[in-house]
Amino acid sequence: MIRKLSQVDHHVVFSFLKQEPSLNLFIIGDIEAFGYEQEFQELWGEFDEDGALRAVLLRFYDSYIPYAPGEFDVDGFVKIIGNNTQSVRLSGKTELVATFEHLLPLGKKRVTYFCECNEITFAETESRYEIKQATVDDVDRILELRRQIAEFSVLPSSRDMLIQSLETNTGRTYYIEEDGRMVSSVSTTAENTLSAMVVGVCTHPDYRQKGYASEIMKRVIRDYIHAGKTLCLFYDNPSAGRIYKRLGFSDIGMWTMYG
C-alpha cells in the first residue's frame, strides 16, 4: 500500500532512512528543513501487509528521489510521478532508479560515483593559507568565481538557492582570496543533523596548482567531522576521485541523475 506521509509518520520514516544515511542525505535534509506539509514538497511511503515501511518517494518541486533497500512497487511510484509532472527529473541510487527507465520519459542521464568521509585521515596542522567562511554578502563573488569555470553552469536560480542555503544553515561556503579576489572555494549543501553534501569545488584557472582546493577541503572535513557529521560528494572524474580519496573519502555506490 502506498500513501502520503505526514508528521505522524516521522519517527518511522527517519528510522527507515537512517539505514543508509549518506545515500538518503537529500531526503533527510529536505524533511528536516521543510517537513511534510509544503506545497513544493511531498512524501509518499509504501507499506507491506504488516505495516512496515518498504520504500519512500520524495517530490521536491519538480524533482523526485525514491529510496528502497529492497523490492518495491515501482509501478505505484510511476503513477504518482506521472500524475504530477510531464517533465520528469529523477535521481537516486543507480540500481534503484534504473527500474524507472522504461516507464517514464526521463531526461538526460548522468551517472556519478557517490562517496563519503566520516573520519579525519590527515594530520591536523594549521593551513598555510587563510581560509574564510562566506556570508550572504559574498554570494555574488562566489557566483562570479564559478562563472570562470568551464565545467560549471550558473543558472538563474543559483543566486537565490545559495542565499537560501546560507540563511537557513543548510549549506556553507569556504574560500581563499588573493589580493582581495576570491580565487578558490568549496561549498556544502543539503546539510542536516547527520551529514552534508560537498559541491562547487573550484579554483580560478589563473590560480591553480597551488593546492588551494585541497586546503579548503581539509578545513571543510575538519569542521564537519568535529561536528559529528558525515561529508558526501559526487564525482565522475577519476583524477578528482583520487584527490578526494587521499583526503579520506571512499566510494559507497553509484548515483544517477535524470533531468
Tell me, what's the pLDDT at 217?
A: 97
* Grid cell in block for residue 99: 527500474
For residue 91, the 8-state DSSP code is E
In angstroms, the Cα distances linking 223 to 12, 29, 127, 185, 230 are: 30, 18, 13, 15, 11
* Grid cell in block for residue 235: 564525482
Within 10 angstroms of residue 10's Cβ, the number of other Cβ atoms is 15
- Asked if residue 157 and residue 76 are part of one domain, the reply reads no
CB 82 within 8 A of CB 71: no
The residues facing 256 across adjacent strands are 92, 111
- Asked if residue 203 and residue 121 are part of one domain, the reply reads yes
User: Which tens digits make up the pLDDT trace of 203-220?
Assistant: 999 999 999 999 999 999
pLDDT tier at 237 (50, 70, 90 boundaries)? confident
Q: Domain with 136 in it: what CATH number?
A: 3.40.630.30
- Asked if residue 248 and residue 129 are part of one domain, the reply reads yes
pLDDT tier at 251 (50, 70, 90 boundaries)? very high
Quote the distance between the C-alpha of residue 185 and its chain's center. Answer: 17
User: Which tens digits make up the pLDDT trace of 88-130?
Assistant: 899 999 999 999 999 999 988 999 999 999 999 999 898 899 9
**pLDDT, averaged across the chain:** 93
Q: Which residues contact 177 (CB under 8 A, 6 or more apart)?
A: 130, 132, 183
User: Which tens digits make up the pLDDT trace of 156-171?
Assistant: 888 988 998 999 899 9
Considering 107, 130, 150, which residue would you say is the last residue of a domain? 107
Give exposure, 185-200, as e/b (b: 16+ Cβ within 10 Å): bbbbbbbbebbbbbbb
Task: Report CA Rg, the chain.
Answer: 19
- pTM for this entry: 0.86
CB 142 within 8 A of CB 107: no
For residue 127, the 8-state DSSP code is P
Q: Domain with 64 in it: what CATH number?
A: 3.10.450
Please provide the distance, in angstroms rounded to a whole number, between the alpha carbons at the two ends of the chain: 28
Tell me, what's the pLDDT at 88?
A: 86
- Asked if residue 224 and residue 136 are part of one domain, the reply reads yes
Whether 256 shows a pLDDT value over 80: the answer reads yes
- Helical residues (DSSP H) of 70-171, grouped into ranges: 74-84, 94-97, 139-147, 158-167
User: Which tens digits make up the pLDDT trace of 183-206?
Assistant: 999 999 999 999 999 999 999 999
> What is the rounded CA–CA span in Å between residue 146 and residue 30?
25
Whether 84 shows a pLDDT value over 70: the answer reads no
- Asked if residue 231 and residue 148 are part of one domain, the reply reads yes
Whether 86 shows a pLDDT value over 80: the answer reads no
Specify the number of domains making up the chain.
Answer: 2
User: Which tens digits make up the pLDDT trace of 171-183?
Assistant: 999 999 999 999 9
The parent domain of residue 45 ranges over 2-107
DSSP secondary structure, 147-212, as one string:
HT-TT----TTHHHHHHHHHHTTS--EEEEEETTEEEEEEEEES--SSEEEEEEEEE-GGG-SSSH
DSSP secondary structure, 218-236, as one string:
HHHHHHHHHTT-EEEEEE-
Tell me, what's the pLDDT at 3?
A: 97
Q: Which residues contact 154 (CB under 8 A, 6 or more apart)?
A: 143, 146, 147
Tell me, what's the pLDDT at 240?
A: 85
- Asked if residue 157 and residue 87 are part of one domain, the reply reads no
> What is the rounded CA–CA span in Å between residue 3 and residue 255?
26
User: Which tens digits make up the pLDDT trace of 12-66?
Assistant: 999 999 999 999 999 999 999 889 989 999 999 999 999 999 999 999 988 999 9
What does the pLDDT average to over 135-151?
94
Tell me, what's the pLDDT at 140?
A: 96
pLDDT tier at 83 (50, 70, 90 boundaries)? low
Within 10 angstroms of residue 224's Cβ, the number of other Cβ atoms is 21
- Asked if residue 120 and residue 103 are part of one domain, the reply reads no
Tell me, what's the pLDDT at 191?
A: 94
Under DSSP, is residue 45 helix (H, G, I), strand (E, B) or coil?
A: strand
- Asked if residue 212 and residue 148 are part of one domain, the reply reads yes
